[in-house]
A and B are shown apart, each in its own frame.
Chain A
Amino acid sequence: MEAEDKILVQRAKEGDQAAFKELVLRYQRKVYMIVYSMISNHQEAMDKTQEVFLRVHRHLPSFEGTSSFYTWIYRIAVNICIDHYRRRKLQSYEYDDSFKHGPALQEEVFPVVSSASRETPTGRLLREELAAKIRAALDKLPPKHRQVLILRELEGLSYQEIADVVGISIGTVMSRLFHARKKMQSRLSHYVN
């Protein structure tokens, strides 16, 4: 994976548009997952996902490859989400609750590939209810706790990689993970105990 990334990155740096497109296709779902899990809104997550790749495209010529490409792209995604938080805080932006806590998979607002049809209505309801509770619990975490938890639990990054992406020490990663998990366990005690 990393070796293929290196080749694609080198080709993209040389102006090969096909290589850049391949990098987008390769990472779009991972980037979207990070962004969506941090900002909990599909439309905004789609926009921010595109913005991540815009930044990648813009800064690719200066990417020296001292870190892996995926670490670099995750760092960009996390920074864009942090910018988003800051701006939202400044604007006292009110989230639409139906987006934040409602069933995000309503197909009219969240276009999906048709796999939902294989699920029973009851199963789907239960899953959506659980998903809403988990999203709500995650949304309540402070952004700095949420981001390390997401990078660890969803992306499987090592402590060192998380430290590199977020720009903090490994000790801080461990501390934030500990607090994030503790809060999540407490809020989801019904499901984890």
Chain B
Amino acid sequence: MSNKVECRDVREMLERFLDGELSPQEHDRVRNELAHCQECRQQLDRLQKLRALIREVYVEEVRRVNLDAVLPGVMTRIQNQERGWKERILAWLERYQIGLVSPAAPLGVAAALAAAVIAGTLIYATSGPTEGPDVGKARVEVAADDPAAPAEAESGTMLAGAQGTAADVLVQDASANRRSAHEEKPFKRNECYVTYYQVDSGTVIVDVDPDGDAPAVVWHFEGEGSPEPGEDNRI
């Protein structure tokens, strides 16, 4: 026979009963109370309905989602990470067909490093003579506290340019001059995102992800050949 004390105690156990987290003795106690107490049965019924509703919505929704893109996406991103920064930056430029339309005067090293401190990471800047309307040279400075970077960041390495840019890429280790809040929090991830690209000054600022999650991405793209805001900016 149900009584108020037993009813109150059992109510407190109903969730664990539903979740299968009771001892055999507690389980029997709840079952016994449920056989006699309508209020306890109603509360259990509410909990069961809530579970059913949540499952119905999410399980059904997710069952119908096409996840075919997940595996290729993962494998591409793994492959990208293994390519190294300079190849990834060039591939990114190529993907969006960014031509260095009006390469400006070389960006000073001091300014470049200052920008690196602000952005926390990489700089891609035009430099050198202009060879045509879509041609420029590029300098990529790689923050060396990214463990993935130094292996790729051989000072003075010249690369063939990305299609449409014919850019020479000079990768330099900027670690010696690097000062930023990230110093105490070394980059551990091999992800980077373009956060700023300005055709006029020929500058692309790339944010290497310090936390393994997408950084605050700021789109300030100007000029011809810039990607649309909202496009995947991942390198």
Binding site for B on A (CB under 8 A): 21, 24-25, 28-29, 32-33, 36-37, 42, 46-47, 49-51, 53-55, 57-58, 80, 83-84, 87, 90-91, 104-105, 110-113, 115-116, 127, 130-131, 134-135, 138, 149-150, 152-154, 158-159, 174, 177-178, 181, 184-185, 188, 191-193
B176 within 8 Å of A by Cβ? no
A115 and B54: CB pair below 8 A? no
- B59's contact among A25, A33, A84, by CB below 8 Å, is which? A33
CB<8 Å pairs between A and B, sample of 22: A28-B71, A33-B59, A36-B61, A37-B58, A46-B67, A46-B69, A50-B70, A53-B70, A54-B78, A58-B190, A83-B212, A87-B211, A105-B61, A110-B65, A113-B64, A130-B57, A154-B58, A174-B15, A185-B50, A188-B53, A192-B49, A192-B53
Closest to A55 in B: B212
Most buried by B among A21, A29, A50: A50
A91-B216 contact in complex given A57-B74, A83-B211, A154-B55, C-beta closer than 8 Å: yes
Q: Which of A53, A105, A181 contacts B15 (CB 8 A)?
A: A181
Q: Does B73 contact A (CB under 8 A)?
A: yes
- Given A158-B21, A184-B54, 7 new contacts (CB under 8 A): A46-B69, A90-B216, A104-B61, A105-B64, A111-B65, A181-B47, A192-B50
* B162 CB, nearest partner CB in chain A, Å: 24
Main SS class of interface, A? helix
Which chain B residue shows the least CB distance to A17?
Answer: B75
Asked if A134 and B53 sit within 8 Å, CB to CB, the answer is yes
Q: Tell me if A51 and B213 are in contact (CB < 8 A).
A: yes
Residues of chain A lying within 8 A (CB to CB) of residue B65: 29, 32, 36, 42, 110-113
Is B16 interfacial (CB 8 A cutoff)?
A: yes
- Cβ of B214 within 8 Å of any chain A Cβ, yes or no, is yes
Interface SS of chain B: helix
Inter-chain CA distance A139–B211, complex, in Å, is 24
B27: Cβ under 8 A from any A Cβ: no
Shortest C-beta distance, A95 to chain B (Å), equals 15
Q: How far is B66's CA from A159's CA once the two chains are assembled, in angstroms?
A: 31
> Complex: how many Å from CA A42 to CA B70?
12
| B46 contacts A by Cβ under 8 Å | yes
Which residues of B does A touch, CB under 8 Å? Answer: 15-16, 19-21, 46-47, 49-51, 53-55, 57-67, 69-71, 73-75, 77-78, 81, 190-191, 211-216
Output the least CB separation between B231 and chain A (Å): 12
Contact, CB under 8 Å: B70 / A153: no
Is B74 touching A87 in the complex (CB atoms < 8 A)?
no
Which residues of chain A come closer than 8 Å to B190, judged between CB atoms?
58
Q: A54: which B residues are within 8 A, CB to CB?
A: 74, 77-78, 81, 191
Chain A hits for B47, CB < 8 A: 181, 185
For A49, the chain B residues whose CB sits under 8 A away are 67, 70
Shortest distance between the CB of A138 and any CB in chain B (Å): 7
B77 and A153 form a contact (CB under 8 A): no
CB distance from A74 to the nearest CB of B (A): 15
How far apart sit A29 and B59, CA to CA, in the bound complex (Å)?
10
Choose among B49, B74, B212 the residue with the greatest number of A CB atoms under 10 Å from its CB: B74
Nearest CB on A from B127, distance (A): 33
Q: Are A112 and B77 in contact, CB atoms less than 8 angstroms apart? A: no
Q: Is the CB of A24 within 8 A of B71?
A: yes
A90 to B210 CA separation, bound complex (whole angstroms): 15
10 closest A-B pairs (Cβ-Cβ)? Answer: A83-B213, A112-B64, A192-B49, A33-B62, A131-B57, A53-B74, A111-B66, A50-B73, A192-B46, A134-B57
Q: How far is the CA of A159 from the CA of B18 in the complex (A)?
A: 12
Interchain CA distance A92-B223 in the complex, whole Å: 29
Q: Which residues of B contact A115 (CB under 8 A)?
A: 63-64
What are the residues of chain B within 8 A of A174 when measuring CB–CB?
15-16
